[in-house]
Chain A
């Protein structure tokens, strides 16, 4: 069974540009969440999508957005990049079929974004 796939693995962008990151969840998983990981703040929740709808949103500015497609694949977009957006962006997929065990999340390898 294939795991969570994130592309690209590494990205270098200039301040002011925008970027789109992609995530393909485990087959059959309907929930996709995005996290930002930095040395100072740890793992912080960005948003969660379930059945193409944003179900939860973290405390990030509106420059951070996402979407989910009918095949559960998800993308996140960051516009007007700032130096502080440099981080490892992680995508996690969950089966989420109603029981507590099914909320366990499986992560991709992440996309390392560097803003210069």
Chain B
């Protein structure tokens, strides 16, 4: 059974601080996706990483896929209150549309 362990589960920081969210597994994934979800809404896709060692940047967000394609991280620089939300990582085996989700990280950025 493929599992994704996401940490930390909760994070409360001040505006301007940096943070990193981790997503780890003992399984290899074909690709890994990061989502952000607001309360009562569906997850919104932020990025997809597919190549081991790949780094992608989205403004102040940096995503990395581990060399072995078993883990990933999301780093936010100078967090802002608008970054508040639930961040989810999800892995795909590549041959179906099924995604395995981590438990999520609830981020609160205080002004």
Contact = CB atoms under 8 A, between A and B. Distances in A.
A109 B48 contact: no
B44 interface: yes
Interface in B41-65: 41-45, 48, 50
B41 A56 contact: no
A92 B50 contact: no
A108 B42 contact: yes
B96 A42 contact: no
A108 to B, nearest CB: 5
Contacts of A42: 101-104
Interface in A54-105: 55-56, 58, 88, 90, 92, 94, 96, 100-101, 103-105
A45 B97 CA distance: 10
A12 interface: no
Contacts of A44: 101
Contacts, number: 80
Interface string B72-101: 000000000000000010101010111111
B45 A56 contact: no
Interface residues of B, number: 25
B33 interface: yes
B98 A110 contact: no
B40 interface: yes
A24 interface: no
Given A43-B88, A112-B40, A105 B45 contact: yes
Contacts of A105: 33, 45, 90, 97, 99
B97 A100 contact: no
Interface of A: 4, 6, 31-33, 35, 42-45, 48, 50, 55-56, 58, 88, 90, 92, 94, 96, 100-101, 103-110, 112
Given A100-B94, A104-B45, 13 more contacts: A6-B42, A33-B98, A42-B102, A43-B101, A45-B99, A55-B97, A56-B96, A58-B98, A88-B40, A103-B31, A104-B31, A105-B97, A109-B42
